[in-house]
Amino acid sequence: MLVKNAAGRMIETNIAGKKVKPFKGARKYKTDSKLATLSEALKKCGLKDGQTISFHHQLREGDHVLNMTLNTIRELGIKNIRVAQTAMFNVHEPMIDFIKDGVVNRIEGSINGVVGDYISKNPLPHPVVLRSHGGRWGAVRSDELHVDIAVIAASAADSYGNCTGIEGKSAFGPICYSQIDAMKADKVIVVTDNLVDYPCRFQEIEEIYVDYVVEVKDIGNPEKIVSGTTKITEDPMKQGIAHSCVGLMDAVGIIKNGMKYQSGAGGISLAVTKYLGEKLEEKNMIAEFAIGGITKHVIDIYEAGRFKKLYFGQCFDYYSAKYLADHPGIPILNVGHYADPYARSRAVDNLDTVVLGGTEVDTNFNVNVNTHSDGRMLHGIGGHQDTASGASLTMITVPVYRKTNPIVREKVTTITTPGNVVDAIVTDQGIAINPKRKDIIEKVKGKINLVSIDDLKNIAYEATGGPQEIEFTDEIVGITKWFDGTILDVIRKVKM
Amino acid sequence: MLVKNAAGRMIETNIAGKKVKPFKGARKYKTDSKLATLSEALKKCGLKDGQTISFHHQLREGDHVLNMTLNTIRELGIKNIRVAQTAMFNVHEPMIDFIKDGVVNRIEGSINGVVGDYISKNPLPHPVVLRSHGGRWGAVRSDELHVDIAVIAASAADSYGNCTGIEGKSAFGPICYSQIDAMKADKVIVVTDNLVDYPCRFQEIEEIYVDYVVEVKDIGNPEKIVSGTTKITEDPMKQGIAHSCVGLMDAVGIIKNGMKYQSGAGGISLAVTKYLGEKLEEKNMIAEFAIGGITKHVIDIYEAGRFKKLYFGQCFDYYSAKYLADHPGIPILNVGHYADPYARSRAVDNLDTVVLGGTEVDTNFNVNVNTHSDGRMLHGIGGHQDTASGASLTMITVPVYRKTNPIVREKVTTITTPGNVVDAIVTDQGIAINPKRKDIIEKVKGKINLVSIDDLKNIAYEATGGPQEIEFTDEIVGITKWFDGTILDVIRKVKM
């Protein structure tokens, strides 16, 4: 059929067997201002009872944005929000009141510290869902975790929503957790304390995804956003464990040109990074790259020419955030690129080795990082599962026991990372290799004296009298998911 | 129900009213090599008769990748491919044989030159679909144009598919058309002549989307990929038009601090950019930014401090591609960010002004860039529609007539951009303002002598005797779509 379209042309409505729509008119487009107050933005986003609001945790203990947003939601009289933060810290203690007031009734995201302690004793009607960094990205990507409104803190943003964490007084390093929220959420709000001219120079999040831009006085407390410095452990026991890690890498033959390393930000991990740098120097080798959380220690090795490339994710100190602002062109590694289980490849799968921690380890090499031995849920999973499954040599650094508590034990309180992907337990009493890794055992023969995991457990039990029995109720506090979305373990409320 | 999962834990299969899946086991992940020959990669992607294969056009007249891929497809005995390139040039003349051989039977994408001439005389069974840059992005994003396999040329790539157009012997500037293909295509193949160590430093396309990486000797002929230099017109008539454009901008009050400018790569557009730089200098004003295709002329003004920021899209000369490699940190503007009609904002909507060309203009201010007055389809739409609808002052620069052909006429042969979004026709015989833009007419009163579009048409008709009548057949060669997917116009085969 021929019809006259809005341009005055006679147009077929069916061309080569396909129905087509005639032109209806053109107009000039102008982008309406995206600037709004937080309250206006939430209302314009259609905030309703029961919705899911997401946040990133890159402002860490300095974050103002999560509390500020939930305060506003409370003022708007909205209830039963599901909070889908990437992580929560002690600064988020007001969450306890939001829960008590019914503003929040579900949490899917990592919880560290006081809020975890509270929920451990007062479970929510829906258990907390704990996922790894990659697992959370995958859950949002696959709509397992649908976000209604993503609230993204930025240390600089233009009025159309191009934004970054690299520049500004509240700089925290590249935004690397929120890309998938920006892409998948129904609505996206950027919150910044630093409105810059268009276009924002760095833009980890692009305006194409952003509905509203909210300017506030402070997105956080700069002193607590990133540590001023990240300190290497001064504890000789921990230094010893760190040296053992580097010794094991060396014995396995990993410390060579082209080595690929994941650096962590814990005290022992930082020490491992430092000692690895020294070892590279001593052997005159150049590692290919370091990924993961970046600190001054990593940059020092890079500057010394011993890491050929940096591949930045989250910055753990101010120095590294500043370094990235001053050295544009270093590729930024967002969490999807790092560990999205549904991606066509994950950066973590390149790793030769990773050094991770744990609150407990068991004789099946299962690792717990989420709960303490008293049953309280006090930590998130982070990249633990992602890197453990990606690295060729996954090392867990723990003391065999802490005071009266055996860390190496028969059964971890909660499984965070299954023993199948854990290769070595590096302790103050020796190194145990997962018997499944015959290749590693073969390589270190004659170079390192290994101990069995049962021996480590026995040492722990002898020194402490064994683990304290805890009685659990049926109530579920939280669940740990493997990054494919399946349930690894259930965290139950302790009988009080 | 309680079941024992693969970690040995007793897990509910229903938690808080939600069915959950028990953990089935963990394993170490290794990314299989993505390296393959082009033929292997296409086969592994499941190439079949009738599929849609996409390409970008950033290698321009130097491109080897489109021909190489279709040759391989022919060797594999596959037929009836729909080619969804962002644009095609004379270098793609072999397309005529691919069409004759039945390898290709549909084209959705811009066509410039010989292939357009051929199809104008020998229409395909399905008309060519012409879309603007933004319209094509939107069509792929909305699945109006579903891509089975995206083949992405890169001047540097690592073996996992992180890739760029910024570095390497075949550098062509940032890949800015293919992001949406990478995200939406069922399969993605990166083709490069420069395999670099992981991770590729620049990565406009990330490995997370890439299935295979193909290394070839040359992705293109560097001498033809980007022009060595882009030359400003030496034709006094065209220089006059360019001066008139800057005069109009000035009269409208656009040339001021904070001005936002779209630069083009045509001879007149380049001259406008140069004269604008001089005018900014003279008035001591600083424009906010320039977007769009970038050339040395734009960078010169930026270096002189008269453009505060660059916002790079496609590079039109080697100088600008090299400049970007040497100055990391200049934000890259991909086509989605530039003009995706479905995005929450488009960069083009910030523009104060844009200077565009045309093959014909009519008295309703409709512009044709696709066909010549003899009816042949010889050019793509490019960013014409996108910027025209986004800029506050959209100027079309044309001579009133060319030899015996009236350029300003009663009715354009094909509507590319409807008159509703066209504000000024700037010619060698004066400037006509769209009567709908009373605001502009008011502003220039007493500063510029305007002519009516009918006067321009009359001058053209007097000098040429009016347009030659062309007789069309019913056969459809192509269609022009507005960027919202509706049909603006139909290009019919000329009776021969």
Residue of B286, B344, B436, B479 to mutate when probing chain A, most A C-beta within 10 A: B344
Residue of A nearest to B343 (CA): A208
* A228 has a pLDDT exceeding 70: no
Would you call B211 an interface residue with chain A, using a CB distance cutoff of 8 Å? yes
Q: Which residues of A454-488 are buried (b: 16+ CB within 10 A; e: fewer)?
A: eebbbbbbeebebbeeeeeeeebbbbbbbbbbbbb
pLDDT of A492 over the 80 cut: yes
Q: How far apart are CA A146 and CA A184, in angstroms?
A: 8
Which residues in chain A are contacts of B415 at CB distance < 8 A? 7, 9
Least confident of A375-389, B19-33, B183-197: B19-33
Tally of CB atoms within 10 A around A33: 10
Q: Tell me the mean pLDDT in the region A378-390.
A: 96
Neighbours of B446 (CB within 10 A): 7
CA A11 to CA A3: how far, in whole Å? 5
Would you call B48 helix, strand, or coil by DSSP?
coil
pLDDT digits (tens, 9 = 90+) for A102-127: 999 999 999 999 999 999 999 999 99
The DSSP element (H or E) to which A282 belongs, if any, is helix A267-283
Q: Where does B414-460 show beta strands of DSSP type E?
A: 424-427, 430-433
For residue B17, what are its two tokens? 């009213």
Instruction: Give the residue from A5, A344, A386, A415 with the most B CB atoms within 10 Å of its CB, the best one to mutate.
Output: A344
Q: How far is A445 from chain B (nearest CA, A)?
A: 23
A198, A333, A486 member nearest B350 (Cβ): A198
Please report the pLDDT score of residue B187 as a whole number: 98
What per-residue confidence (pLDDT) applies to A229?
62
- Side-chain-side CA neighbours of A245 within 13 Å: the count stands at 35
Strands (E), B104-222: 104-107, 110-111, 128-130, 149-154, 156-157, 163-164, 187-192, 212-215
Confidence at A263, pLDDT banded by 50, 70, 90 = confident
Chain B partners within 8 Å of A209 (Cβ): 343-344
The band of A406, judged by pLDDT with boundaries at 50, 70 and 90, is very high
| Structural domains of chain A, with CATH | 38-225 (3.40.1080.10), 236-478 (3.40.1080.10)
Crossing angle of helices B296-303/B318-326, nearest 10°? 50
Whole-number pLDDT of residue A475: 95
pLDDT-derived band at A1, boundaries 50, 70, 90: confident
Question: Which of B203, B309, B328 is nearest residue A328 as measured by Cβ atoms?
Answer: B328
Identify the pLDDT of residue B229.
62
B326 alpha-carbon distance from chain centroid: 24
Residue-wise over A95-110: b if at least 16 C-beta within 10 A, else e? Answer: bbebbeeebbbbbbbb
A134 touches chain B (CB under 8 A): no
Alpha-carbon gap: A235 to the closest alpha carbon of chain B (Å): 33
This model of the complex carries an ipTM of 0.95
Give the length of chain A: 496
Of A39-48, A434-443, B266-275, the one with minimum mean pLDDT is: B266-275
Confidence band for B34, pLDDT divided at 50, 70 and 90: very high
Cross-chain residue pair B209–A160, CB shorter than 8 Å: no
**The predicted structure's pLDDT at residue B228:** 60
- Any idea which of A16-20, A172-176, A298-302, B70-74 has the lowest mean pLDDT? A16-20
The pLDDT-based confidence of A265 (bands split at 50, 70, 90) is confident
**CB atoms B390 and A34 under 8 Å:** no
Element (H, E) at B309: strand B307-315
Token pair 């070839």: residue: B216
Of B29, B208, B489, Cβ closest to residue A7: B489
Instruction: Specify the pLDDT at position B38.
Output: 98
Q: Which one, of B45, B155, B154, B138, lies nearest residue B339 by Cα?
A: B138
Q: Dmax over Cα atoms in chain A, in whole Å?
A: 91
Mean pLDDT, to the nearest integer, of A376-405?
97
**Distance, in angstroms, between B166 CA and closest chain A CA?**
12
CA distance B151 to B182: 9
B163 interfacial to chain A (CB closer than 8 Å): no
Whether B489 and A392 lie within 8 Å, measured CB to CB:
no
- Please check the confidence at residue B217 and state whether its pLDDT lies above 90: yes
List, for residues B421-445, the tens digit of each pLDDT value.
Answer: 999 999 999 999 999 999 999 999 9
Q: A492 - beta bridge partners?
A: A476
| β-bridge pairing A287-294 and A307-315 | parallel
**Mean pLDDT in residue range B388-406:** 97
pLDDT in tens, A293-343: 889 999 999 999 999 999 878 888 888 889 989 998 888 899 999 999 999
Model pLDDT, residue B358: 95
Would an 8 Å CB–CB cutoff place A197 in contact with chain B? Answer: yes
Q: Closest partner residue to A11 among B206, B420, B487, by Cβ?
A: B487
Asked if the peptide bond before residue B199 counts as cis, ω within 30 degrees of 0, the response is: yes
Cβ atoms of residues B200 and B156 within 8 Å: yes
- Would you say A249 and A284 are in contact if contact means Cβ atoms under 8 Å apart? no
Q: What number is the average pLDDT over the span B133-151?
A: 98
Kindly provide the residue ranges of all beta strands, DSSP E only, lying in B364-494, ordered along the sequence: 367-368, 393-397, 401-402, 405-406, 408-409, 424-427, 430-433, 472-481, 487-494
A58-67 tens-digit pLDDT: 999 999 999 9
Three-state DSSP class for residue B134: helix
Bigger pLDDT: B264 or B201?
B201
Interhelix angle B296-303/B267-283, nearest 10 degrees: 10
Whether chain B has a CB inside 8 Å of the CB on A338: the answer is no
| Inter-chain CB proximity B23 and A476 less than 8 Å | no
Determine the pLDDT at residue A32: 82
From chain B, pick out residues whose CB is under 8 angstroms from the CB of A347.
199, 207
Cα-to-chain-centroid distance, residue A356: 14
pLDDT at A311: 87
Chain A hits for B23, CB-CB cut-off 8 Å, are 418, 482, 486-488
Instruction: Let me know how many helices (H) and strands (E) chain A has, helices first.
Output: 15, 29
Whether B35 and chain A come into contact, CB under 8 Å, resolves to no
